Structure 1
Amino acid sequence: MSDSSRLPPLTALRAFEAASRHLSFAKAAQELFVTPAALSFQIKSLEEHLGVTLFRRLNRAVELTEPGRALQPGLAAAFREMHEAVRAVERMKEGAPLTVTAGPAFTAKWLAPRFFRFAEAHPEIELRFVASLKIMDFDRDGIDVAVRYTPRPDDTAYCELMIDEWVIPAAAPAVAERIATPADILHETLLHDDSINHLRPAMTWAVWLRAAGLAPGAEAERGSRFSSADHAIDAAVEGAGVILARASLIERDLAAGRLVTPLPMGLMTPGKYYFLCRKGAEAEPRIETFLDWMREEVASIAAMGTRFDLRPFPD
């Protein structure tokens, strides 16, 4: 009979959690860097401590018994919380890098070019960028801050609107000289940023041209297509055509004269850029410093918008 006031050994609980997750003693042993025999011994000792059978041993597999199914959820949650607590403490160590994830285009066109300003102002904070469109887990993936372009804020995390984004036609100066009306755009090579086709409604040339008073057909779909926004922008800078670009991603190219907006009409997009971190983490000194810096940096995009005719994105 087990002593209800005494918890089983942690090694036995850890062995059960891994085996119940994999439903394989061999895979669990491999994860924990022990032999299958050692793992089987730990689970046997746990069963003896609890006075119940936790697994049915089959020929080539195992399955949880009713007591095993009752134990598994709470134990899995407990180990997750322990891992998360340890990671939270590790992130608080002095000198630990601040890990920021954002999409590849936003990292290349907005974050990275401004990094030197943050580094000069805050040399005590080391930044680490993870450029990815994958939705990462703050604890599992060791992420401190995420900057995401999405139509909906995330209520499971601290979430603050950074950029109310819009799109506008842009081209290299030599190409822009040929564009005086919306109809002129159809005589140029259209550059398409397919990385945001998942948004609804979609942000396409056809939508912008209709908002400009035209009724485009198949010609709005021709041109060159890019799976990454920064590649499409680079093509526009080189004079390859005209792009319907997100303002945040072309701000520096516009300021430097590499791109020109030949027509003033822009469309607000269904997606916006949000700053995200774990709830409560926004008050941690490193994250609060980075958030304050971002608030200052994005102000120029809002100011830039006052120069254009920005219209709601059509439903």
Structure 2
Amino acid sequence: MLQSLTHLTGLRTFYAVARESGITEAARALNVTTGAIRYQIRELEKELGSQLILRSRRDLTLTAAGADLYQKLGKAFEEIHLACRTAQNAVVKGELRFASAPAFAALRLMSILELFLRRFPSIIVRQFPIEEADETMDVILSFGERAIPGRRVAILRNETYFPLCSPELLYKAPIRSLDDLRDHVLLHGDSEEDWPRLFRAGGRGEIAPRQHVYLPNSHLALEAAKEGCGLAVGSTLLSAEDLRRGTLLKCLDLEIPAPHPYFVIRPRDDNQEIADAFAELIVEQLERS
């Protein structure tokens, strides 16, 4: 039984080798020699009593034990990094005023907010609807441009729109082409133009569905789709979690580019440390999702 684990340098070295996919690359990243890297890996394997890397002249391959350790170390180092950031930010106090589009607030904001609160445990957050966004906000997330002065960053991932429905609805009434939409209910969110854009992309003009339902925003349209009320237009950013969980499915092989990007707007320069940290977190999380 392993009584103690003193080889922390070895763990850090192994993680760098696995992450960089090579000893030379890891040595460069850690600013040490390749000989030092090999020594640390040998010592770590000796201490653990398990081979972590299959060595060859060309390729570096992790063993099953190595792959498992690499995955767990990634989570552990992320927690350590977060703990250090939290300790640094614990003394940062103040308030963050944030406004966002309603669908984003409902579908993506809470996971980002949870990360922010962990990093800044002494900050008060006030979230406002996009209709109240003005120059008093620290950060605004807007779908498309908004007539508010300030620094802005566009979320530059390839956002697309596509039709979605619940698995149950697709099972009961399969959709093989745009013509099949005549038997379905079309759910509309923020824009009444989303479905016509999809029809045009599919080489069709107007299609008369069984019924139209107009809802105040995209979040409610997607929630209605999950309940089997009809088909909604989803997007890469807003629907990522539902697609991952299987609560919504793409029901046609049809996608169009989003008409506008999301903009992260910084209307004012005071409260800079807190606002910049939140804005950077939004961009980081959305561009990697």
TM over 0.5: yes
Name the % identity.
21
Report how far residue 275 of structure 1 moved: 0.4
Instruction: Give 2:127's aligned residue.
Output: 129
Q: 2:199 aligns with which of 190, 209, 225?
A: 209
CA RMSD of superposed structures (Å): 2.5
Report Cα offsets for 1:37-94 as digits up to 9, x if no partner.
xxxxxxxxxxxxxxxxxxxxxxxxxxxxxxxxxxxxxxxxxxxxxxxxxxxxxxxx95
Instruction: Give 2:110's aligned residue.
Output: 112
Supply the AA of the counterpart residue of 1:189: V
The answer to whether the aligner puts 1:242 opposite 2:231 as a matched pair is yes
The answer to whether the aligner puts 1:288 opposite 2:276 as a matched pair is yes
Report how far residue 189 of structure 1 moved: 1.3
Alignment gaps of 5+ in structure 2:
1-90
The answer to whether the aligner puts 1:273 opposite 2:266 as a matched pair is no
Q: Structure 2 CA distance, aligned partners of 1:221 and 1:229?
A: 20
Alignment gaps of 5+ in structure 1:
1-92, 198-202, 302-315
Whether the 8 Å contact between 2:182 and 2:210 is mirrored in structure 1 is no
The answer to whether the aligner puts 1:149 opposite 2:116 as a matched pair is no
Q: 2:151 aligns with which of 148, 153, 158?
A: 158
Instruction: Give 2:94's aligned residue.
Output: 96
Whether the 8 Å contact between 1:206 and 1:221 is mirrored in structure 2 is no
Instruction: Give 1:44's aligned residue.
Output: none
Shift in CA distance, 100/243, structure 1 to aligned 2, threshold 3 Å = same
Q: Structure 1 CA distance, aligned partners of 2:114 and 2:164?
A: 27
TM-score in terms of structure 2 length? 0.61
SS of 2:130's partner is coil
Report how far residue 109 of structure 1 moved: 1.1
Q: Structure 1 CA distance, aligned partners of 2:176 and 2:191?
A: 27
Shift in CA distance, 169/300, structure 1 to aligned 2, threshold 3 Å = farther
Shift in CA distance, 274/121, structure 1 to aligned 2, threshold 3 Å = same
Report Cα offsets for 1:188-243 as digits up to 9, x if no partner.
211111x234xxxxx332221121122334x1593211112211111101111111
Instruction: Give 2:249's aligned residue.
Output: 260
Report how far residue 174 of structure 1 moved: 1.8
Report how far residue 182 of structure 1 moved: 2.6
Shift in CA distance, 163/172, structure 1 to aligned 2, threshold 3 Å = farther
TM-score in terms of structure 1 length? 0.56
Shift in CA distance, 250/286, structure 1 to aligned 2, threshold 3 Å = same
Q: Which runs of 4+ in 1 moved over 6 A?
A: none
Highest Rg: 1 or 2?
Answer: 1
Instruction: Give 1:299's aligned residue.
Output: 287
Q: 1:174 aligns with which of 161, 168, 177?
A: 168
Instruction: Give 1:196's aligned residue.
Output: 191
Whether the 8 Å contact between 1:205 and 1:220 is mirrored in structure 2 is no
Whether the 8 Å contact between 1:205 and 1:221 is mirrored in structure 2 is no
Whether the 8 Å contact between 1:174 and 1:239 is mirrored in structure 2 is yes
Whether the 8 Å contact between 1:146 and 1:276 is mirrored in structure 2 is yes
Report Cα offsets for 1:148-168 as digits up to 9, x if no partner.
112x36683101102554311
SS of 2:259's partner is coil
